[in-house]
Structure 1
Amino acid sequence: MRFPFMRFPLRLPGFIPRETLLMALGSLHAHKFRSFLTVLGIVIGITTAISIASILTGLRGQIVKIIEEYGTNNIYAYHLTTGPQVGERDQKERARKPLTPEDAEAIRTGASHVQDVAQVSPNIGYWGGAFDDTVSYNGKNYRRGNTQGVTPNYGGITNVTLREGRFFTEFDDASRRNVMVIGVNAADALFPNPNNIVGREVKMGGHVFEIIGVLEKRKNGVFGENEEDNHVLVPFRTGLKIAPGRRYLELN
C-alpha cells in the first residue's frame, strides 16, 4: 500500500485492519494543521506533567535535606496552630494557655525519651508590639531579621554551626546580657568586611548589643533561602527583658 506523501510502501501487520489504517492516514493527510495541533497538545501535556513531577520531587528532596540538617529527631511545640489560617481561631483554641518555661522543665524531667528542651521566644519585633527590632551599625540598618530569644541549648538542639565566635552560655542568659548571634544575611548587610565581626556593637530597640557569634550559612533551603540565615538571636531572658510583651513561647 502506498500514499502520495509516502516514499516507501507501507507493510501492514496482520492484526491491523487495512481499512482502519487507510482511514486514519488519510484523515491525517487531509487535516495536517489539525493533526499538528493535536500532536503539539499531547507533547505539551506530557512535557508539563514531567516538569511538574520533577519540580515536586526536587522540592520534596530539598525539604527532607532541611529536616535532616536541623535534626530528624526534633519536635516543635506551639500552643496555637501554625501555618496559613483561614478565618478566626475557634474558641477552644483561643482559650489555650501559652507555653511557659515551667512546661519546658516538666517535659524535660517527665518525658524519659526527651533529651533536652530549648525555649524560643519567636519574632520578638513583631509580637513585642512597640519594640523595634531593626539592627543598626554605622549608618546601616537591617530590618529583615527574624529576631528570637533562645536558651543556650538551642544551638545544640538545632545543629547550629558558627562561622565565627560562640553561642550563648547559661551566664549570658541568667545575667540577661545584651549579646547577639546573627545570621549570615544580617552580617553581610551590616558589615561590608566579613572578617572580625565578633566584638562589634550594634543597636536594636534603643539597646546596645555586642555581637558574639555569626551563624554559618545553612546548606539547604527552599528555593535557595533559609530563614535561619536571617536570624537575629539574643539570650532567652534578654528577649523577655527588652520585649516584655512577648510571652508566647515555642519549645524545640
Structure 2
Amino acid sequence: MTEQQKNAITLEMAGESVGRLTLNQPETRNSLSLAMLELLDQRLQAVSADASIRVLIIAAAGPVFCAGHNLREVQGQLGDSAAQLALFRRCSEVMQRLVALPKPVIAQVQGVATAAGCQLVASCDLAVAGVNTRFATPGVNIGLFCSTPMVALTRNVHPKHAMEMLLTGEMITAHRAEQIGLVNRVVDDELLAEETLKLALLIASKSSRTLAIGKEAFYRQGEMSLADAYDWTSEVMAKNLETQDAREGICAFVEKRPPQWRGE
C-alpha cells in the first residue's frame, strides 16, 4: 500500500481519549470504493485494539462527507456479479463492525451524505451535522435501489420516513434528518468540529468498560422480545455491578468525589 493510499483515511487523537478517523479523499467525494472500505475496516480494528481511545469520531475532508459507493468502480464491474456482490458484502461487514466496535462512534457530518454515505452515518451510534448538510438515499434515481443503506436507515428512523427517502431519492435537510432521528444534533457549520468534540469528550469521561457493556446491550436487546430483553438486561446489569468501575462509581457517588476509572 502506497503512502497516498494509507492517507486516504487518517487516524489521530482529537482530544483526551477521543480518536478522530477522517475520510481523506475529497477528490472522489470520499466515496466508498472497495479499497476505501478495506482501509476503513483496518482503521476500525486499530481503534478497537487501542485502549487510549474511548470514543471515536468519524469525520471527512472536503465539502462532501461521503457520496456513497464509487460509481465509476461499480460501472467498471457491470456484468461481474461476483465482484459486485463482494463489494456490497464488504461494505455490509464494515457497517456491522461499526456497530460491534466496543466504543461509541460519532459521525461528524458536513456537506452531503448520500447512499452508502448516509448508511455510514446511520451505522454510527451518534451523529452531529452541520446546518447546511443534506442527506439522501438516491439510488432509485439511477435504477439501483439503496437496499443495503436501507438496513441501517430503517434501524434509525421510522419506517415511513425511511421509505420516503428510499422511494423518492430526494435530499433532506439537516434539520429534517434531526426530526426523523437520523442525526442527534444540528450545529452551525463553523462549530461542527468543536461541538462534536465536546460531545465526544463528555462521553469519553465515562468508564470505558461501562460504555462497552452498554453499547453491546443497546443493540442486542433491540433484537429481542420485550420479556427477553428485560430478562437479559437484568443479567447484564447484575454482571456490570461486579466490575471494578461500577464499584468505584457507586463509592465515588456516595463519598461525593470524582470517580477514578480503570476500565475494569
Give the TM-score, by structure 2 length. 0.21
Give the TM-score, by structure 1 length. 0.22
The structure, 1 or 2, with the larger RCO (C-alpha pairs under 8 Å, 6+ apart) is 1
| Structure with greater helix share of residues | 2
